[in-house]
Structure 1
Amino acid sequence: MASYSFSCPKIYFGEEAITSLRILNNKRVAIVTDEFMVSSGKTRYLIEEMPQASVSIFGEVKPDPNIDVLQAGAEKFKTFKPDVIIALGGGSSLDAAKGIKVTLEEHYRTHSIELIAIPTTSGSGSEVTSYAIISDPQNGRKYPLVAQELVPDIAILDPNLVLSVPRHVAVDTGMDVLTHAIEALVSTGANDFSDALAEKAIALTWQYLPQVYNDEKNITPRTHMHNASCMAGMAFNSSGLGLVHGMAHAIGGMLHIPHGKINAMLLPLLIEFNAAQATPQTTERYMKCARIMGIENQNPQLAISQLVRKIRQLNRQFTIPATLKELGSDKAAFEQLRQPLIDAALADGCTTTNPRTPTAQDIDRLLSLIGG
C-alpha cells in the first residue's frame, strides 16, 4: 500500500482577510516583495493593519528569482532578525521569500521565523506549497525546490489585492490553476484529499475564469479564482504534478515564456499524450475532468477529445497561442535548445508523477508539436 501525506497552512480568506495581520503587532516583520508592490502602496496596505509592528522591506524581487536575490534579501534582514517574514506578490515573491527564510534560519541556527504568504496573483498556489522555483539565468533553467521547510505557516487570500492584476496576466495565471488541478487529479500520487481539492479547483476555474476575462474588476469571480488557486496548490502539494510542468519549466526557463502561458499551451497536448496510453484509472480521471466541465459523453475517447477541444477553445478565447511559432518565438533558438529541453524535461521532478512515463523520443515529438 502506498502512503501519502497532506498538510496546509492556516488560511484566512475573504474581503477582510488582511485584518488577520493584526496578530503581528509588536513583532519584527520583514516584507519580501517587488518594486511595484512598494510603489503602488500595497506594502502600506499591509503595514496599516499592524501599526505597532517593526517593519523592514526588501522590495527587489524580480521575475524568476535566482540565488543572488535570495542572498541579497537575507543580507538585508540579518541584523533586523525578523520574527516573521511576509511574502507579498506573485509566485516570484513567494518563492524568493521562502528561500530568504531558509537562508536566514541557517544563518541564525536557533532563531526560527514564521512565514506568512499573501499572493497578489491567482495562479502559483505557492502560498500553501513546499515548492519554490529558483532560476539559473546563466543556463536558462528553472529548478523546482521541494522541502517541508518551504511551506508557509499562514496564507492570507485577500481578493482586493488581485483586482489590479491585468486581464492578460489573470488568464495566464488562471490557466496555471487549471493545469495544477488537472495534473494533480491524474498524477500517480493522487489521493482522496488531493482529489477533493483538485476537483473543486477545476469546477471553480471553469466557471469563474471566463468571468474574470469578461469583467476584470468584478471582485466575485476574482475571489473564487483566488480560492481555486489555493485549493489547486494544496492538491498538487500532496499529489505531485506531471509532464506539463516538467516541460513548462524547461521551455519557460530557456525561452523566457510566462509560466501560466506555456502551461496553457502544453496542457491539451499532454492530455492527448497521456490519454493515448492511459490506464483505466487515468482514463476515468480525465473523464471526471470532462464531466466537471459539462461533458456528458460516456465514450471515453470522445469525452477526452471534447475535453481537449474545450481547453483549446478556452485558450483561443483568452488569445493564448497554440504553438511557439504563433507566439513568435525564435525558431532557430528553439531548435538549438531541443536536446537541453529534452534532458531538462526528463530530469524535472514534476515529470516523475506523470501518469505516462515519457521517453526522450516522446519529449522530442511533443516539442515538435508545441513548436508549430
Structure 2
Amino acid sequence: MLKLRFPLPVFRNANEIANGKNARMALKGIIANRVALVISPSFKSSQYYEQVHRLINAQSVRVIEKSWGGEPSVEELSRVIGELEAFQPDYIVALGGGSIIDGTKLAWLFYEHPTLGSDVLYRPFSLPPLRGRAKFAAIPTTLGAGSEVSSAAVMLDHQTQSKKAVVTHDFLPDLVILDPDLVTEVPLDVLKTTVTDTLAHAIEGYVSLIDHPLMNTFAEQALSIVYRYRFKFSDESWKVEMLSELQYAAMLAGWVQNHCIVGLSHAIAHQLGSFDIGHGLANGLLMPAVIDFNYRDESVANKYAQLIQNAGVPSKEELVGLFEILVGGQKTNRMFTEKQLDVIAKNALLDPAAKSNPVRFNEDDVKEIVKQCL
C-alpha cells in the first residue's frame, strides 16, 4: 500500500466489490479452508441464512453470533475473539449493520494480535499489519454506516463513556458484497435512520476541511440518489431497485467519510450512544442545526450551495427537509443534566470529527445544539 509523508488526495478502497441483485453469489468465489461468519442472532431466522451459509466456499464454516449490543467494548468482544481463536479461520465474513462490521473488524484485529495494548489501539495508523492469519469480507445489511469501505472501526471506551475510532487501512475488506435482497428484511424505521447517516457522511465530508475533489463528486452523487427517492421513503415497502441504489449511495458516502472525515454532527453523535440514542437517529436530529451553525461562515455556505446545486437539490430548505422526512420529526425527549451535557461537550471537542468541521465550535455551541435537537 502507498505510504506518503505529505498530504495528497489518494483513493483507498476495498479490494473487490460485488454489487446488485444476487451479489451474495460472490461468496462462492472465496478461497479458504475455514470461514468464520459473524452475524446478529436475528439473521438465523432470515430466509437467506441457509443459502448464505451454503454459498460460502470453504471446507469448514462456523457461524458466530455477535457478543455486543451497540458499539462494542474490548470486554464485550472477548467471546467472539475466543471463538475465532478456537476455530482458527483463514477468512472472516461480517454480515450485518455497521456495529457488526465494526465489531468484527476489531475481533479480527485481536485475533491476529492478542497482546495489543490500549496505548497503540487508539493511535491512528499505528496498528501492526493484518492478514497474517485471515482475510476479511463485509456484507452490509443497512443503508448508511459505510463501514464496509471504512478504514476505521468504532468502539466504546467504558472509561470515558464515549465512542473512539480504531484506524488502519488494513480494515478495508478483501471483499465487499452489496446485495439488496439482504436488506429487504430490515424494518423500514431502521433503514430510514441509516439513510440519514448516508446524508450526514456525504454532507459533512463535502464541507470538511479536508479537500478531496474525487470525494466531492461521490458526495454529490450520494445526495442526488437519496433526494431522488424522497417521495418513496413513506412507502410501506421499498423496492429492490431502490434498496440497491441506496446501497450505492451509502458506499459513495462511506468513501467520502473515510477520506474527508466528517464534522460537528458526528462529533456529538459519537457521544450519544451511551445514552441509548442510535447513531443514525442522532445524526438525523442534529444535522439541520449543524448545517445552520456552519452556514454562518460565508465560504462554507458557498460550499453547501455548490453541493446543493450539483446534486440537483433545489434549495437549502429541501436539503434540510430530507432529514425531516427520514426521522419524521422524532424527538428523543431526553433530558440531560448539566453534568451530562458537560461530558458530551468536552468529549465532542476531543472527537476526531471535530478537527475537520469547517467552523470552529466550543462546548457552549455543542450544548446549545444538543438542547435544541434532542
Q: Give the TM-score, by structure 1 length.
A: 0.88
**Partner residue of 2:101?**
94
Give the structure 1 partner of residue 119 of structure 2: none
More helix by share: 1
Shift of 1:45: 2.6
Aligned counterpart, 2:133? 112
**Residues 242 and 350 of structure 1 are in contact (CA less than 8 Å); yes or no, is this contact kept in structure 2?**
yes
* Partners of 2:257 and 2:24 in 1: CA distance: 25
Alignment match, 1:177:
198
Q: 1:276 aligns with which of 279, 291, 296?
A: 296
Distance apart, 1:255 and its partner CA? 1.9
d(CA) in 2 for partners of 1:160, 1:38: 15
- After superposition, give the CA deviation of every residue in 1:130-159 in whole Å (9 maximum; x if it has no partner): 121112356532222222222212111000
Tell me what 2:361 maps to. 358
Gapped regions of structure 1 (runs ≥ 5): 297-305
Where 2:113 maps in the other structure, the secondary structure is helix
What residue is the counterpart of 2:322 in the other structure? Answer: 314
Please name the residue that 2:177 is paired with: 156
Greater Cα shift, 177-186 or 362-371: 362-371
- Please report how far the alpha carbon of residue 192 of structure 1 lies from its aligned counterpart in structure 2 after TM superposition: 1.4
Q: CA deviation at 1:290?
A: 2.0
Offset of residue 120 of structure 1: 0.6
CA-to-partner distance for each residue in 1:134-185, whole Å, 9 max, x for gaps? 1235653222222222221211100000011111111100011011101111
Q: Confirm or deny that 1:224 pairs with 2:267.
A: no
Contiguous gaps of at least 5 residues in structure 2: 1-5, 116-129
Cα deviation for residue 49 of structure 1 reads 1.2
Say whether the 8 Å CA contact 1:65–1:134 is kept in structure 2.
yes
Name the residue aligned to 1:49. 55
- DSSP-derived class of the 1:155 partner: strand
Shift of 1:66: 1.8
1:286 aligned onto 2:292? no
Q: Does 1:346 align with 2:349?
A: yes
Query: Partners in 2 of 1:126 and 1:295 — Cα distance?
Result: 26
Q: CA deviation at 1:367?
A: 2.6
Q: Who is 2:87 aligned against? A: 80
Provide closer, same or farther for how the CA distance between residues 41 and 105 of structure 1 changes in structure 2, counting only shifts above 3 A: farther
User: What amino acid is aligned across from residue 353 of structure 1 in structure 2?
Assistant: S
Do residues 130 (structure 1) and 138 (structure 2) align? no
The answer to whether the 8 Å contact 1:70/1:96 transfers is yes
Aligned residue for 2:21, secondary structure, equals coil
What's the % identity of the aligned pairs?
27
Letter of the structure 1 residue corresponding to residue 18 of structure 2: Y
Q: Partner residue of 1:369?
A: 372
1:99-147 CA distance string (max 9 Å, x none): 0111111149983311100001111010010121112356532222222
In structure 1, how many angstroms separate the alpha carbons of the residues matched to 2:183 and 2:357? Answer: 31
1:357 to partner: Cα distance: 1.5
Taking the aligned partners of 1:351 and 1:192, their CA distance within structure 2 comes to 21
Cα distance in 2, alignment partners of residues 11 and 350 from structure 1: 27
State how far apart, in whole Å, the 1-side matches of 2:25 and 2:279 are. 31
Q: 1:312 to 1:275 in 2, by over 3 A?
A: closer
Instruction: Rate the CA distance shift 1:128–1:293 in 2: closer, same or farther, 3 A.
Output: closer
- The answer to whether the 8 A contact 2:151-2:167 is kept is yes
Aligned positions of 1:19-38 closer than 5 A? 19-24=25-30, 27-38=33-44
Work out the CA distance in 1 between the residues paired with 2:313 and 2:182.
34
Change (3 A) 1:352 1:26: closer
What SS class does the counterpart of residue 87 from structure 1 fall into?
strand
**CA distance in structure 1 between the partners assigned to 2:274 and 2:188 by the alignment:** 25
- 1:288-343 CA distances to partner (integer Å, 9 max, x unpaired)? 232245455xxxxxxxxx41x32443333335336xxx3222x1x34331100110
Where 1:358 maps in the other structure, the secondary structure is coil
Higher alpha-carbon deviation: 107-116 or 282-291: 107-116
